[in-house]
Chain A
Amino acid sequence: MEKFYTLFFVAGIGCFAVAAVLSMVFPWMTLGHYHGMDYQTMEDLAAHPSAEFRELAESYPAEFQAAYGEVSPASYAQALRLGRDLYVGQACWHCHSQYVREVSNEAQRFGPVSTAQEYQNALNQPHLWGTRRVGPDLSREHGKRTNDWHIAHLLNPKNVVPTSVMPAYPYYFDEHGAPTERGFALVSYLQWLGTTWRAEEEVQP
Chain B
Amino acid sequence: MNAPAQESLVEYRLVRWHLFAAGAALLVSMVAGFEYSLQFLGFFPHPGNELASPGHLRLMHTNLAAYGWLVNGFTAMMYYVVPRLTGKRIWSRKVGMLIFFTWQFILLATIVGFLYGKCQAIEWGETPTGFRPGSFDLNWIPVDSLVVLGAVLLISQFMVPLFKARHQKFYVTLWYFTAGLVWLALTYLMGNIVPEWVLPGAAGAAVTGLFIHDLVGLYVTPMGWGLMYFFVPLILRKPIWSHSLSVIGFWALAFFYPLGGVHHFLLSPIPDYVEFGAITTTIAIEIVVTTVVVNFFMTLRGKWGALRTSMPIRWFYAGAIMYFLTCLQCSFQVTWTFQKIIHFTDWVVGHAHMIMFGTFTFWLFGTIDWLWPRVTGREWHSDKLRSWHFWLSTVGIATMFVDLTAAGLIHGFMQKDLNDWMDIITASVPFWWVRTFAGGMMLTGFLCMFYNMIATARSNVLYEEEKHLVPAQAE
Contact = CB atoms under 8 A, between A and B. Distances in A.
Interface in A1-44: 1-5, 7-8, 11-13, 15-16, 18-20, 22-24, 26-28, 30-32, 39
Interface residues of B, number: 98
A205 interface: no
28 contacts: A2-B170, A13-B186, A15-B258, A20-B210, A23-B209, A23-B262, A31-B202, A31-B269, A31-B270, A91-B56, A93-B121, A94-B59, A101-B267, A103-B336, A108-B418, A109-B415, A119-B205, A121-B200, A124-B201, A125-B201, A127-B121, A127-B202, A129-B268, A131-B264, A132-B344, A133-B345, A136-B421, A164-B425
A121 to B, nearest CB: 7
Contact of A129 (B56, B120, B186, B265): B265
A119 B210 contact: no
Contact of B422 (A4, A88, A120, A161): A161
A188 interface: no
Contact of B269 (A1, A11, A84, A99): A99
Interface string A63-79: 00000000000000000
B366 interface: no
Contact of A122 (B58, B134, B274, B426): B134
B122 A126 contact: yes
Contacts of B14: none
Residue among A13, A88, A124 facing the most chain B CB atoms (10 A cut-off) = A88
Interface of A: 1-5, 7-8, 11-13, 15-16, 18-20, 22-24, 26-28, 30-32, 39, 81, 84-86, 88-94, 97, 99, 101-106, 108-109, 114-116, 118-122, 124-136, 161, 163-165, 167-168, 170-171
B449 to A, nearest CB: 28
Task: State the majority secondary structure of interface residues on B.
Answer: helix
A79 B56 CA distance: 22
B348 interface: yes
A92 B348 CA distance: 18
Interface of B: 39-40, 42, 44, 47-48, 50, 53-56, 58-59, 114, 117-123, 126, 133-134, 162-163, 165-170, 174-175, 178-179, 181-183, 186-187, 190, 194-196, 199-210, 214, 218, 247, 250-251, 254-255, 258-259, 261-262, 264-265, 267-271, 273-274, 277-278, 336, 339-341, 343-345, 348-349, 412, 415-418, 421-422, 425-426, 429
A154 to B, nearest CB: 12
Report, nearest first, the 4 A-B pairs whose CB atoms are least far apart. A12-B182, A119-B201, A89-B117, A19-B258
